[in-house]
Chains A and B, each alone.
Chain A
Amino acid sequence: MTTLKNSKGFWLSIVLALIFFSVMQFTISNGMLNPFYINTLMFIGINIMLATSLHLIIGITGQFSIGHAGFLAVGAYASAVMTMKLELPFIIALLAGGILAAVAGMVIGIPSLRLKGDYLAIATLGFGEIVRIVLLNIDYVGGASGMQVSHLTTWPWVFACVMITIIVIRNFTNSTHGRACISVREDETAADAMGINTTYYKVAAFVIGAFFAGVAGSLYAHNFYIIQPSNFGFLKSFDILIFVVLGGLGSLSGSVLAAILLTIVTTFLQDYPETRMIIYSLVLILMMIFRPQGLMGTREITTLFTGKKTKGGPKDGSHNTVA
Chain B
Amino acid sequence: MWKYLIEKEFKQFFRDPMLPRIVIVFPIVMMLVFPFAANMEVRNINLVVVDNDRTDLSAELVEKCTESGYFRLKEVCSDPRKAQEMMDKNTVDAILTIGQGFSRSIVTGDGFPVGIKVNTVNGTKGSIGSQYLSNCIMLFMQSHSDGGSSLQDASSGAVIDAAPKYYYNPYMDYKVFMVPALIVIAVTMVTGFFPALNIVGEKEAGTIEQMNVSPISKTSFIVCKMIPYWVITFFMLGMCLLIAWLVFGYVCKGSLWGVVLFTVLHIMVTAGLGLLISNYSENAQQAMFIMMFFVLIFMLMSGVFTPVSSMPEWAQAITYANPLRYYADAMRSIFLKGSSVADVWYDAAGLLAIGSAALTWAILSYRKTS
Asked whether A and B interact, the reply is no
